[in-house]
Amino acid sequence: MPDDTTAGSVDVVVVGAGIAGLYAIHRLREQGLSVLCVEAGSGVGGTWFWNRYPGARCDVESIDYSYSFDPELEQEWEWSERYATQPEILRYLNHVADRYDLRRSIRFEGRVARAVLDESSGRWTVVLDTGDEIDCRFVVFATGSLSAVRTPAIPGLADFAGRVLHTARWPHEPVDLAGRRVGVIGTGSSGIQLIPIVAEQAAHLTVFQRSANYSIPAPNRPHTDESRAEYRAAYPERRKLSRESGGGSPHFPHPRNTLDVDEAERRRTYEKQWALGGVLFSKAFPDQLHSEEANAPARAFFEEKVRAVIDDPAVADRLIPRDHPIGSKRICTDSGYYATFNRENVSLVDLRETPIDEILPAGIRTGEVLHELDDLVFATGFDALTGALAAIDIRGRDGRELRAEWADGPKTYLGLGVAGFPNMFVITGPGSPGVLSNMVLAGEHHVDWVAETIDHLDAQGLWGIEPSAEAQESWVQHCAELAEGTLMVRANSWYVGANVPGKPRVFMPYVGGFGRYREVVSTVVEKGYDGFEMRAGPGVEIGPAQPAVG
């Protein structure tokens, strides 16, 4: 096939070659559209290309956290473990890129700096940081909700004499930690996966914890021929249930509320949910994230389990969160995290008791104590959901600037489009359930919707689509109201932007669940793209769209 990565004009530019961007190339090309994907990295995989830290693996079972668009792909790929490691997931995504011949449509090491709508031609100009321009009709931002990396500006960082690493920018070559004194800042999902492995390799590990997190062990085990045969046979049913579920995997809460069952039943349910691992524990009962009373027994169960693992009760006191309800931040999934703190070569520094004052060439100073370090690892997360888009200068109709439109928090309709930015689509971003669900299926759902919408426009001979300002406003409000009815708004999480100084505190995802969201989106389409405005040309309004045919 010809190499079209230098094309100057295409139907669709896809930004990002992660899980969503890769599928977008395939899906849109299948529809006969010319597609160019621009990816800042030198390879495919997005999250799984960048986050190469030891211990990185998925927290949704691989058989669910994998593409569903092609049953042949499902049947042919062999997962080696229930929760695959980063290298295996990256191998899988490279396999997908090869199998569907996607690389010929990807311009690697290209960072999109600007995207500007030219209202006279009705086309978008996508500008790379090299100055190269690509002209297109549609632009799809598959830039990732967790791709804009955060390294906090701690005084003295530039003077540190040792190695500085970040989990989300981990080197491609192996990092030898043997005999080293390593410091890890951050105890979110990344830190919690990394810490047990560093502890095994380093001479000494110092963990700098600002907030304790809830973590639950992954029920990981290798797949066997027998288990592979089982999951292959179960795929159609698993996918169906995943699409109907709240979180995008085939698991549902107990049918009754927490306090409507007796204690024995409650305990059985927690045990079952604990055995499922990680994030699923947040939904043992339907009301668990809706009231303190329903959350408290789940939290107590967690505390009992974790205290049983940690030898020193004073260390356990520091490791068990008290500042937020369980599940109001994403529950982490670990392999031996709490037991790591029983090791002789591991120490925990509680930054709420002794904050970091500065970084010195020899290490980190907290108060009177200098923690001497050879290597410093940041596991400090991302400017989530909006960071990657805010890094791009995006201009829509009448010169509107996306950054300015979102200054008080992101505003989208269904998470898919933004008023004033016609023919621009966002994948699994703010206003969608993406980050609260299995993001492979969430990405596929969005990409399918974009492809079907473009198809609909073409069938109707229309130029473009954008949400109406009113529909967007009421969706933003609906999302906020749903979130306010949960405990999720209580935590200082990245869902509300609390991890980025100065970011407006807005609960960004849609909390109504993946299954319900899919129904909402389907209804919108059935009602003729209710809430969207269709245009015959840039500036030529024809009002709301007609019902989709077929």
Q: Report the interface residues with ligand FAD, using CB under 6 A.
A: 15-21, 38-41, 46-47, 49, 51, 56, 58-60, 65, 111-112, 142-144, 146-147, 190, 388, 391-392, 427-428, 438-439, 443
Q: What six digits make up the tokens of 494?
A: 């990245």
* Per-position b or e across 473-509, b if 16+ CB within 10 A of its CB: eebbeebbebbeebbbbbbbbbbbbebbeebeebbbb
Considering CB distances under 5 to 8 angstroms, the limit depending on partner class, which of ligand FAD, ligand NAP, none binds residue 259? Answer: none
x/- string (CB under 6 A) for ligand NAP, residues 371-400?
--------xxxx------------------
Shortest CB 17 distance to ligand FAD, Å: 6
Distances in Å between the Cα of 273 and the Cα atoms of 302, 438, 503 are 11, 17, 34
Q: Is 185 in the site for ligand NAP (CB under 6 A)?
A: yes
Q: Is 282 in the site for ligand NAP (CB under 6 A)?
A: no
CB 400 within 8 A of CB 391: no
| Binding region for ligand NAP (CB under 6 A) out of 113-121, 186-194, 236-244, 515-523 | 186-194
Considering CB distances under 5 to 8 angstroms, the limit depending on partner class, which of ligand FAD, ligand NAP, none binds residue 439? Answer: ligand FAD
Nearest-CA neighbor of 230 among 61, 459, 436? 61
Shortest CB 501 distance to ligand NAP, Å: 9
Which residue is nearest to ligand NAP, using beta carbons? 188
Shortest CB 58 distance to ligand FAD, Å: 3
Shortest CB 30 distance to ligand FAD, Å: 18
Nearest-CA neighbor of 511 among 432, 417, 409? 432
Considering CB distances under 5 to 8 angstroms, the limit depending on partner class, which of ligand NAP, ligand FAD, none binds residue 388? Answer: ligand FAD
CB 44 within 8 A of CB 102: yes
Nearer to ligand FAD, 390 or 548 (CB): 390
Determine phi and psi for 484, rounding to 5 degrees.
-60, -25
Kindly report the length of the chain.
550
3-state secondary structure 58-101: CCCCCCCCCCCCCHHHHHHCCCCECCCEHHHHHHHHHHHHHHCC
Nearer to ligand FAD, 182 or 388 (CB): 388
Pairing of strands 163-166, 375-378: parallel
User: Three-state DSSP class for 199?
Assistant: helix
Residues touching ligand NAP, count (CB under 6 A): 23
Nearer to ligand FAD, 135 or 357 (CB): 135
Q: Is 333 in the site for ligand NAP (CB under 6 A)?
A: yes
Q: Is 432 in the site for ligand NAP (CB under 6 A)?
A: no
In the block, which residue shows the tokens 């043997």?
178
Q: Is 366 in the site for ligand NAP (CB under 6 A)?
A: no
Nearer to ligand FAD, 125 or 366 (CB): 125
| Binding region for ligand NAP (CB under 6 A) out of 31-39, 91-99, 182-190, 302-310 | 182-190
Distances in Å between the Cα of 155 and the Cα atoms of 145, 152, 357, 371, 480 are 28, 9, 8, 15, 36
CB 69 within 8 A of CB 27: yes
Q: What is the dihedral of CA 291, 297, 300, 306, to 10 degrees?
A: -100
| Binding region for ligand NAP (CB under 6 A) out of 180-188, 251-259, 299-307, 481-489 | 180-188
Shortest CB 491 distance to ligand FAD, Å: 18
3-state secondary structure 2-28: CCCCCCCEEEEEEECCCHHHHHHHHHH
Using CB under 6 A as the criterion, which residues of the chain lie in contact with ligand NAP when the complex forms?
Answer: 58-59, 146, 152, 185-191, 193, 210-211, 330, 333, 351, 379-382, 494, 499
